[in-house]
Amino acid sequence: MLIPFETQKLEFWGLILLALGLLGLLMFVRRFFSKRRRRKRGEPVPRRGCLFGFIELLVLLLFATTGLLMLTLAGLQRTFKAFTDRQVVLQVHAQFVNAPRKQMQVELQWPEQSAAPRKQNFTIRGDQWEIEGNILVWDDFLTVYGFKPGYKLTRLRGRYLDTQAEKTLQPSVIPLANERQDWRWKWLLRFAPRLPGVRSAHGQTVFTYPNPDKVYKILISHDGFTLQEGNYAPGKF
């Protein structure tokens, strides 16, 4: 966290202090001009003393500025959290089982809240493994106010470094979702830029080399997929 306070509490108390300060200042100004009018008309005006009025003004200004500062800090914290938040959507472990034929075993492990099976194992060919997916990116102001990016992982495939091999060798493509039935993403990929509050909807890939000692977590952030490398521990997510 940017500061050791909850954002909602900062916003709540900031609004309270700012409202009290502004309301008090409004009443202070109203009372000041009311006294001036009464003096001009020759009416008696109760005296409270300049020092008392000065202290009252300072307290009201302190309330208003403190509330404004708290709201500013809450806004900074909300922005910081929105643009640094990352969620793990898939864990990948891959290793070659037949290096000369560029055959690799890939283990996919999904988070517990996912609708997909907890673990899946596949065999693919290539120099690298690759995960494809779709992502829906919101405008920044919606991201700040808690809108999470939409995503869908669609395919696992093998990737060759040599473009000629990509053209001639049989591709390894494994679907991770039923693409035919998901009309929502087909519609979003076509029309999302026309929707208010949506920056874009597009496809994205992440890929890297298989490594028996490493595990890779695919994370979703406000603007796309990223990879986080870690040491492989069987059964650990």
Please give the pLDDT value at position 3: 45
Rounded to whole angstroms, how far apart are CA atoms 175 and 158?
12
pTM to 2 decimals? 0.72
Please give the pLDDT value at position 51: 74
* Coil vs helix vs strand at 131: strand
pLDDT tens-digit series, residues 102-126: 899 999 998 876 666 688 999 999 9
How large is the average pLDDT for residues 178-206?
Answer: 87
Can you give the residue ranges of every domain in the chain?
Answer: 7-83, 86-231
* Cβ atoms within 10 Å of 28's Cβ, excluding its own: 15
Where does the pLDDT of residue 79 fall: very low under 50, low under 70, confident under 90, or very high at 90 and above?
confident
Rounded to whole angstroms, how far apart are CA atoms 120 and 107?
6
Please list, in sequence order, all residues whose beta carbon lies within 8 angstroms of the beta carbon of residue 160, skipping any fewer than 6 positions away: 102, 126, 127, 128, 166, 169
- 181 pLDDT higher than 80: no
Please give the pLDDT value at position 57: 86
pLDDT greater at residue 178 or residue 209: 209
pLDDT tens-digit series, residues 139-170: 988 888 888 899 999 999 999 999 898 888 88
Amino acid type, 95 = Q
The sign one gets for the Cα dihedral 53, 54, 59, 61 is: positive
CA end-to-end span of the chain, whole Å? 24
* Cβ atoms within 10 Å of 118's Cβ, excluding its own: 11
In DSSP terms, 90 is beta-bridged to 218
Please list, in sequence order, all residues whose beta carbon lies within 8 angstroms of the beta carbon of residue 34, skipping any fewer than 6 positions away: none
Average pLDDT value for the chain: 86
Longest dimension (CA), the chain: 105
pLDDT greater at residue 123 or residue 56: 123
Q: What is the dihedral of CA 6, 12, 16, 18, to 10 degrees?
A: 70
Where does the pLDDT of residue 211 fall: very low under 50, low under 70, confident under 90, or very high at 90 and above?
very high
- 195 pLDDT higher than 80: yes
pLDDT tens-digit series, residues 4-34: 457 788 888 889 999 999 998 898 888 877 7
Please give the pLDDT value at position 44: 67
Please give the pLDDT value at position 233: 79
